[in-house]
Structure 1
């Protein structure tokens, strides 16, 4: 442990101790069964997103009907779970990490209760789900993505708050006085950034405000690709910024030291470029008609 960090910690104001907040990682426990907040966060994000999507498609110019939203609810749920788990196995285990590759231990892939979900993997899963529903129902994929992207930040907010309640994915050690610095369990004695709350604020709350404002207060939904472009750029940029305050995954700290950026940051760069391309493309094309298309049965 660095003597400089210890000296800085001694001079800093008394940090907040996470264990003194009285938080538990479950809502209730019956015997060996626990209903965990992280599971509830996934459920709440998916259900709230489905409810809001059902409201959105009642507006003029919607590219899908309620039955399509029902299909998306099911397939996106599967895509989030499978994509998140497989993405974690791909990006965060094996290779230069200190965790054996989950691909070499297929039985471990299904043990979701052991933790390990990748945002980027879940995003790929959702994209595949949207592509499948759009292709099967002859819908415009880019417009479906526009509508779904408005609903995703709900899940991001709940998921990051659940990370905080679990006392996991903490931030880096603070380098100076910080009133909200926290000491997390299993993270050593030094105060750290509560980066889970930073992510909840940027990837969740801020993106909710931006996306809802664009959808309900502007005509952005009539420019195919604009909403999903803003979402992709915004959430990837937020993740890139927060990674400067978030402690790299233990198994990838060496990777971050060698490359200069964390795995999360490297994975967000293509998303930022894609989002900017979609925004530019949407703004150079004329708006769509507000007439509701005839539903194909």
Structure 2
């Protein structure tokens, strides 16, 4: 489903990226998720432990993946793919961004089913007891994240992706994704237990909240950049006109 949706979104833009470009970016993004997610967990969450036993880094079957690390890996994959296939970087990122919440939704459901990453102790009516988390009922924070990071963010990006006036402002959809995920994660972490090896950090914040702050800032900058470029005039061109200009420039460059 994510791949088909990415192809569909690419067709909305017209021209590049095309279905072959999508296949390439999916491959690079997959490598980025695995490598970036693992290295991100090692660097952000258990660096001291892994420095003592470096070979444990390869033991991915024992768990330990970081979304923020995976995001950096996917970003690197998109950059490489855009460079190798001569596709505007922000345009390619805008095609990929609306698909990401689907993976986030199912990932958080898996966290809930596995009884991991549980929430803080609570007396709300829907609180539940998780295996291995003691006898006290807790927030099902995994479901909060599935709702905010998955369903809500997907709906917002889907609406924006179907607006031609937004699609031609390259970087806006990517910026909304970064901003939306960052705010969703910061909010959900208010109900989630921090990682036991780290606990609460500066000002009572969790590592997930601290890592999400730069996402919010970059997201705001991308949205403002897209709006700024639109206000200058050239971005009011249609997608078809833009693709023709890119094609002409490429031919001259040869």
User: Shared fold (TM-score greater than 0.5)?
Assistant: yes
Contact 2:160 2:173 survives alignment (8 Å): yes
Question: Cα deviations across residues 52-91 of structure 1 (Å, max 9, x unaligned)?
Answer: 1111122244531211111111110110011101100000
Residue 223 of structure 2 corresponds to which residue in structure 1? Answer: 279
Q: Among 126, 129, 135, which residue is 1:180 paired with?
A: 126
Q: Among 134, 138, 152, which residue is 1:192 paired with?
A: 138
User: Offset of 1:136 from its aligned partner?
Assistant: 0.9
Structure 2, unaligned stretches of length 5 or more?
none
Q: Does 1:105 align with 2:53?
A: yes
Residue 31 of structure 1 corresponds to which residue in structure 2? Answer: none
Q: Give distance in 1, aligned partners of 2:142 and 2:65.
A: 15
Question: Cα deviations across residues 222-273 of structure 1 (Å, max 9, x unaligned)?
Answer: 10110000000000100001111000011011xx155421111111111101
Q: CA RMSD in A?
A: 1.8
Question: Cα deviations across residues 80-126 of structure 1 (Å, max 9, x unaligned)?
Answer: 0111011000000035xxxx1x2443321222221110000000000
Residue 18 of structure 2 corresponds to which residue in structure 1? Answer: 65
Q: 1:127–1:258: structure 2 CA closer, same or farther, 3 Å change rule?
A: closer
Q: Does 1:213 align with 2:166?
A: no
Residue 149 of structure 2 corresponds to which residue in structure 1? Answer: 203
Contact 2:16 2:87 survives alignment (8 Å): yes
Residue 88 of structure 1 corresponds to which residue in structure 2? Answer: 41
- Give TM-score, length-normalised by structure 1: 0.77
Q: Among 177, 192, 217, which residue is 1:246 paired with?
A: 192
- Give TM-score, length-normalised by structure 2: 0.90
Match runs of 1:1-40 below 5 Å? none
User: Offset of 1:219 from its aligned partner?
Assistant: 2.7
Q: Give distance in 2, aligned partners of 1:69 and 1:138.
A: 13
Structure with bigger strand share is 1
Q: What number of residue pairs does the alignment pair up?
A: 241
Contact 1:89 1:103 survives alignment (8 Å): no
Q: Give distance in 2, aligned partners of 1:91 and 1:238.
A: 19
Residue 289 of structure 1 corresponds to which residue in structure 2? Answer: 238
